[in-house]
């Protein structure tokens, strides 16, 4: 039977096809331009051919899900999927554009279940939709229009306090933007009778970078661990090799986000940060700082993550350095209420341990309302959010990946 035959060569062929497809569409121009620059530096006047590709929608996410299917098949964790089952797994519309990245052993097994499908946790799904609107349309939209977009476009024209405000604003924007999207697709999946994996768990409360990556974009970080870090050898080949594997995995994570040097810098910063943390654990004892001064550890971790976000958000490496230089001081007049926003940021950071619990309790209260009260309350909340949100249709940060 085919199900019992799992030759490694077919796994390699499948992985080569899946990853090769992603490499051609997403990274051809990056490697062509890099090779072109290297040739010019060597004095070789060759011109490499350029190809204009139309990027397939969601290629990064269904490539990762394809890899999980092939590896699970090779390991004997599931049986071969029929074409329509596999197609539905790879093109499941709520997660197609920006995840969460679903494992074949999770989503595919739910999709092929022969049981009659029904709505799951209706009250939770409706509450998550309203929460997603508040995060994405209102809060993330306001942060983008009022602080992030204008200041990042020309940081040298703003007062130093305004630049620092944008520094924090982007950290909150990208979290609200992405977690709001995750809340929305989780709700849509529940309405279709599907449970999706959790993707965020209060990441800015992390007390070190390891903890941050256990709580941020959890489906991606676990995928990198299982399909890149562990196959490279993980920590099985000694401490030094484990650090090299970690650094390589994080750099590849940065490259996955985009074919640009700024994303390589972002991934490299996180990789070096985790390696430095591991070295500190080895010299001083495991999590020596966070065990003694938890809030200081959280503040240091948050600021390191924010610093890396500058390279993630800036249009280029040069723009990232310009932003950091502006953080050191500018001679511009203060035109925005930066002190008020900085005070709000401090309050929001301090309130994090309670906000998640408050949202969960609010969603749970929906179940106690009469049937006629739920649509009235939810419609009223949605209308209020739309009224107070910035005009226009906001973009979504992770659609570009």
- For 119-142, the pLDDT digits (tens) are 999 899 999 999 999 999 999 999
Q: Is the pLDDT of residue 300 over 60?
A: yes
Q: Which residues contact 154 (CB under 8 A, 6 or more apart)?
A: none
Instruction: For helices 338-365 and 122-133, give the axis angle rounded to 10 degrees.
Output: 170
pLDDT bucket at 5, cuts 50 / 70 / 90: very low
C-alpha 89, offset from chain centre? 21
Task: Please tell me which residue, 307 or 39, carries the higher pLDDT value.
Answer: 307
400 to 203, 253, 295, 385, 397: CA distances (angstroms): 22, 15, 34, 25, 7
Q: Which of 26-30, 231-235, 266-270 has the lowest mean pLDDT?
A: 26-30
Per-residue confidence (pLDDT) for residue 225, from 0 to 100: 94
Q: 23: number of CA atoms within 13 Å, CB side? A: 9
How high does pLDDT run on average in the chain?
88
Q: Please return the burial class of 150, using the count of CB atoms within 10 Å of its CB with bins 0-12, 13-18 and 19+.
A: middle
Above pLDDT 70, what percent of the chain? 98
Q: Tell me the pLDDT tens digit for each residue of 310-328.
A: 999 999 999 999 999 999 9
| 9-18, 73-82, 388-397: least confident range | 388-397
The pLDDT tens digits for 40-95 are 778 877 777 777 777 777 788 888 999 999 998 888 888 888 888 888 898 888 88
Which residue in the list 159, 207, 257, 270 is annotated as catalytic? 257
Structural tokens at position 292: 């003694």
Cα three-residue angle 100-129-358, rounded to 5 degrees: 95
For residue 401, the model assigns a pLDDT of 64
What are 51's two structure tokens? 């190809």
Cβ-proximal residues to 27 (8 Å cutoff; 6+ apart), any chain: 255, 259
For the question of residue 257 being annotated catalytic, the response is yes
Residue 375 has φ and ψ, to the nearest 5°, of: -65, -35
């Amino acid at each position: 039977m085919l199900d019992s035959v799992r030759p490694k060569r077919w796994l390699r062929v499948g992985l080569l096809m899946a990853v090769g497809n992603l490499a051609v569409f997403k990274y051809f121009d990056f490697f062509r331009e890099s090779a072109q620059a290297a040739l010019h530096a060597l004095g070789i006047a060759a011109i490499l051919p350029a190809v204009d590709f139309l990027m397939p929608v969601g290629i990064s996410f269904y490539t990762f899900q394809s890899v999980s299917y092939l590896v699970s098949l090779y390991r004997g964790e599931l049986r071969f999927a029929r074409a329509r089952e596999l197609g539905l797994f790879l093109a499941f519309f709520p997660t197609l554009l920006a995840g969460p990245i679903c494992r074949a052993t999770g989503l595919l097994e739910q999709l092929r279940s022969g049981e009659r499908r029904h709505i799951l946790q209706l009250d939770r799904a409706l509450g998550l939709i309203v929460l997603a609107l508040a995060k994405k349309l209102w809060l993330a939209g306001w942060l983008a229009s009022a602080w992030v977009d204008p200041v990042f476009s020309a940081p040298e024209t703003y007062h130093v306090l305004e630049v620092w405000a944008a520094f924090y604003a982007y950290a909150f924007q990208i979290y609200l933007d992405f977690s709001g999207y995750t809340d929305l697709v989780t709700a849509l999946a529940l309405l279709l009778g599907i449970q999706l994996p959790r993707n965020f768990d209060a990441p800015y409360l992390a007390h070190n970078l390891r903890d941050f990556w256990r709580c941020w974009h959890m489906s991606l970080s676990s995928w990198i661990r299982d399909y890149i870090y562990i196959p490279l050898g993980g920590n099985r080949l000694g401490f030094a090799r484990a650090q090299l594997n970690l650094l390589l995995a994080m750099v590849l994570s940065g490259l996955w986000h985009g074919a640009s040097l700024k994303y390589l810098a972002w991934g490299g910063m996180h990789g070096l940060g985790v390696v430095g943390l591991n070295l500190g654990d080895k010299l001083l004892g495991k999590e020596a700082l966070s065990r003694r001064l938890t809030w200081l550890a959280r503040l240091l971790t948050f600021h390191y993550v924010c610093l890396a976000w500058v390279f993630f958000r800036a249009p280029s490496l040069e723009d990232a350095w310009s932003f950091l230089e502006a953080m050191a001081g500018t001679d511009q007049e203060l035109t925005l209420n930066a002190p008020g926003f900085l005070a709000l940021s401090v309050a929001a950071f301090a309130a994090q341990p309670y906000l998640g619990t408050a949202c969960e309790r609010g969603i749970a209260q929906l179940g106690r309302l009469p049937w006629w009260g739920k649509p009235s309350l939810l419609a009223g909340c949605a209308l209020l959010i739309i009224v107070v949100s910035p005009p226009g249709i906001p973009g979504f940060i992770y659609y570009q990946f």
